[in-house]
């Protein structure tokens, strides 16, 4: 999963789109988002347990930057989610999707648009006969 996130360039895309200060953060928001994605897809731990999930993993293999497991705490993950909430999420998804297209992982096709129902002329509507009523006043009582 982490390798797929690297191929899709999620970390640099998120880092470019969110507001953050590299001098203030131990781990970039993009890396924190990747950590959340990997956790969500593999174990679905709540935010306060994500750090424990990564204690059992080789962080050097998972992330593109050095990460101390203590930096994957719920406060840091929550701040990353707050930063995501400030940006245009459809634009983020579109950018990651285009990254997948460039990888050759996806085939691009025209979107499927539903065809409108055939229109009925007023003449055909007037020829229809009403065969019954579903009004509650005309139905037989069932009690």
64-91 pLDDT, tens per residue? 999 999 999 999 999 999 999 999 999 9
Query: Quick one: which H or E segment has residue 20?
Result: none
Q: Is 132 within the bounds of a domain? A: no
pTM, full prediction: 0.70
Which stretch of 49-53, 54-58, 93-97, 109-113 has the lowest confidence by average pLDDT? 109-113
End-to-end CA distance of the chain: 61
Mean pLDDT in residue range 13-39: 95
Tokens, residue 95: 């950018």
Q: Is 96 within the bounds of a domain? A: yes
Please write the tens of the pLDDT for every residue from 52-69. 999 989 999 999 999 999
- The number of folded domains in the chain is 1
Residue recorded with tokens 């129902």? 117
Q: Quote the domain boundaries for residue 94.
A: 2-103
Q: Is 26 within the bounds of a domain? A: yes
Mean pLDDT in residue range 106-130: 57
Read off the pLDDT band of 105 (50, 70, 90). low
pLDDT of residue 53: 94
């Amino acid at each position: 999963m982490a390798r797929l996130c690297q191929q899709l360039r999620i970390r640099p895309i998120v880092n470019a789109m969110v507001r953050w200060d590299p001098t203030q953060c131990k781990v970039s928001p993009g890396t924190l988002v990747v950590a959340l994605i990997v956790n969500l897809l593999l174990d679905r731990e709540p935010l306060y347990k994500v750090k424990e999930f990564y204690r059992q993993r080789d962080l050097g293999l998972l992330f593109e930057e050095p990460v101390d497991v203590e930096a994957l705490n719920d406060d840091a993950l929550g701040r990353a989610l707050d930063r995501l909430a400030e940006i245009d999420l459809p634009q983020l998804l579109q950018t990651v999707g285009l990254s997948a297209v460039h990888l050759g992982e996806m085939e691009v096709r025209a979107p499927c648009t539903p065809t409108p129902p055939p229109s009925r002329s007023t003449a055909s509507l007037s020829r229809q006969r009403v065969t019954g009523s579903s009004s509650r006043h005309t139905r037989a009582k069932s009690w």
